[in-house]
Structure 1
């Protein structure tokens, strides 16, 4: 019978992503200080607690830590500030740069007047501070914090908070990435802590390694493009778009890979990023090259920009997008959104999902009951279909999942990361995962002697 963990001197309330993958939001009450870690939007069937039901109203929260700039971790910031939050927003320097275009894009379709939006971004600019990795900074009431590299997307971090009196520490993993991810340094090992709040998105499965995935990407693209069809890749504009560009560049320029996949460079098959936000973020990625990993920086220094190569095109305007939906293949089209819940990928799927010459390549997590999840689930059934913008489409295109491109690490990566500290926390709370994923990871951690709780 495992021992019960000791009672730690604070209160932790999960306001989102306690038992689901999206909508991350966690409230820590400690030393008469209220600290929020992330404030994200929910997607698909996921839900977050309304702010009117929070145990601490937004106006009384002292600090908000943003672990990274994906909307399921920062997308409720406009609502939070509207509801009176006036504390400090703490994140890394790179995330601070990425927050603004992400939120501007998310707010573009909202029916607020421009003056209200401008007021929000002025307040966001005033309240948000960027900090360095792996340095300790002081908060009020004898609290300190430290940010570590999470390896999920550029600027992503895990957050360790420590109280001097009473002595205790809690670490929020945020979203953890895999090792050997293009452009990104590997995750830092966690510092010892009393309580670890750990994501579990892929706590029940293993991914392909980087070598395997680039091989599979080359094989899938070669096979898919050989018949003159299009390859549609639904992606998130931040992170996945840039990783894919990096590895497509490798397939075209690395001597060994060029020899294995000659079709991908000999015929000059166009690769098109059809996402204004994705293009803007890629430009910001270019400016943030000091945060890239050593491999990517070396390529750039040698004159091989992995985010800008021959045969790469952009579809920024709506006219370009419409022309692209009518264009014949072969072509690789990278477009958002990653779960096919909206954005330009919906138009591409409406135009091409019923053509068996085409392929849909999924490279990320698909939340329950999103169009992406439905397409993936029913792709191999005789009468599979999906509704896009209220219209029914048969799924006749080939559908290919490629798990190695997930921005989240897998079960083994999570276990290795937890074990790398060499110190067992008093307890581990698993969040940000579906029930089967949390339970599978909890069992693996318990086998290793950890007090792991699946909510």
Structure 2
């Protein structure tokens, strides 16, 4: 088996890997690079899109699927293989992404139909055969709904390669915890947070309640840049707990009853994905299904409002607080969050709450890095804005496993792999995680 990394080998986004085995060309992910992460032009690939037999998708985030339309436009006609929830999320996610690309409407319809026709959803935990003696198995990765890691095996030689995709953390709302991986000769493993630990996830809802209480005390707005897929649904779930669970109602009285601030989901895609999440309740974890059975829908509550049309979005931008606003994109690289920040980032009564990774070169990273510096600023559409709003980072909401989670996942494999190749991480993250794994006796490339 030969592996060529076509994206995210030395950075976080733009996931794309080529596995060549027994005459098959198998691609794992075909994602879009974000921020200053490099993008590999398809004409520089060692094979043409027409020569790819299978495209496996680990999950439906744009940095793992965003170039699928380009792949199809360049002649790909192979099979797209993913989990059932990823199949359900694929067309909505890519349809939204294509709105911001320079693609004629007729071509968008053609590409969306091709994606739907070529993609197949598979069960996790079951082995399946491809051609020429290659088998594969998907297992749950706990990153977002439908996320999986993928193990390929040459049935004749027994040699196996496992691609981790993005690994999630335990105790994530709605999601089943990451499953232990089967043994493999080579593990291609993500390292996004390989050099750090997250806040205690069991206490993150308390931190969310504390930040919201403090942030809303001056009647300002709280802006939460959040990915439409995964993060928005998790935040709705935890606000549902803050507002309805008796324990939290007593802890955070300022968030209850008439005092409760309105919560706006200002993301058409986020609203569509939330509906899809609701329709996929069979894939939720036990806690979420138990709440639903009791009549408490875990991703819905009174005081949650959908901002569907652009006119209402503009009204919300001009409206006074208090309010909690969830909007994409998660790294502030586009979407409606930019309008909110352009209007509100210079007001010290407002707060910005980051709940996910901000890639180098993105506006989100710039805001994080310069928020505490005198006269820190960021540009939105060539307009310079001073960062006067208070900035908070809740790392417990990251959809990625931290260093401990990554190490625990690889150690749950009941035999050490022959080697580990670290990808999907900045240099410091890969270096630190590699050193930790080597100290534990693993061979790291």
TM-score normalised by L of structure 2:
0.99
Which of 406, 430, 433 is 2:422 aligned to? 430
Offset, 1:111: 3.2
Offset, 1:211: 2.1
What CA deviation, in whole Å up to 9, does each residue of 1:95-135 have, x standing for no partner?
A: 00001110111111333222211111121111100000000
Partner of 2:278: 286
Partner of 1:343: 335
Take 1:113 and 1:450, find their aligned partners in 2: how far apart are those partners?
49
Take 2:313 and 2:114, find their aligned partners in 1: how far apart are those partners?
34
Take 1:435 and 1:239, find their aligned partners in 2: how far apart are those partners?
26
TM alignment of 1:67-106, pairs within 5 A? 67-106=58-97
Which of 351, 370, 373 is 1:378 aligned to? 370
Offset, 1:171: 0.3
TM alignment of 1:99-248, pairs within 5 A? 99-248=90-239
Q: Secondary structure at the match of 2:196?
A: coil
Partner of 2:344: 352
Which consecutive unaligned segments of at least 5 residues does structure 1 have?
Answer: 1-9
Partner of 2:302: 310
Q: Secondary structure at the match of 1:226?
A: helix
Partner of 2:291: 299
What CA deviation, in whole Å up to 9, does each residue of 1:32-79 have, x standing for no partner?
A: 111000000000001121111111111111111000000000000011
What CA deviation, in whole Å up to 9, does each residue of 1:129-173 have, x standing for no partner?
A: 000000000000001000000000000000000001232000000
Offset, 1:209: 2.1
Root-mean-square deviation (Å): 0.7
Q: Secondary structure at the match of 2:264?
A: strand
Take 2:278 and 2:73, find their aligned partners in 1: how far apart are those partners?
32
Partner of 1:65: 56
What CA deviation, in whole Å up to 9, does each residue of 1:233-275 have, x standing for no partner?
A: 0001000000000001101111111110111123131000000
Take 2:363 and 2:211, find their aligned partners in 1: how far apart are those partners?
22
Take 1:221 and 1:19, find their aligned partners in 2: how far apart are those partners?
36
Q: Secondary structure at the match of 1:27?
A: strand
Q: Secondary structure at the match of 1:421?
A: coil
Take 1:166 and 1:423, find their aligned partners in 2: how far apart are those partners?
18
Offset, 1:369: 1.4
Checking the alignment, whether the CA contact within 8 Å between 2:29 and 2:57 is kept in structure 1 is yes
Take 1:431 and 1:260, find their aligned partners in 2: how far apart are those partners?
42
Partner of 1:407: 399
Checking the alignment, whether the CA contact within 8 Å between 2:182 and 2:414 is kept in structure 1 is no
Which 4+ stretches in 1 moved above 4 angstroms?
Answer: none
Q: Secondary structure at the match of 2:277?
A: helix
Offset, 1:21: 0.2
TM-score normalised by L of structure 1:
0.97
Checking the alignment, whether the CA contact within 8 Å between 2:171 and 2:202 is kept in structure 1 is no
Offset, 1:83: 0.9
TM alignment of 1:243-258, pairs within 5 A? 243-258=234-249
Take 1:444 and 1:422, find their aligned partners in 2: how far apart are those partners?
19
Offset, 1:344: 0.5
Number of residues of Structure 1 aligned to a counterpart in Structure 2:
444
What CA deviation, in whole Å up to 9, does each residue of 1:152-204 have, x standing for no partner?
A: 00000000000012320000000000001000000110000000000000000
Q: Secondary structure at the match of 2:90?
A: helix
Checking the alignment, whether the CA contact within 8 Å between 2:266 and 2:308 is kept in structure 1 is yes
Partner of 1:7: none
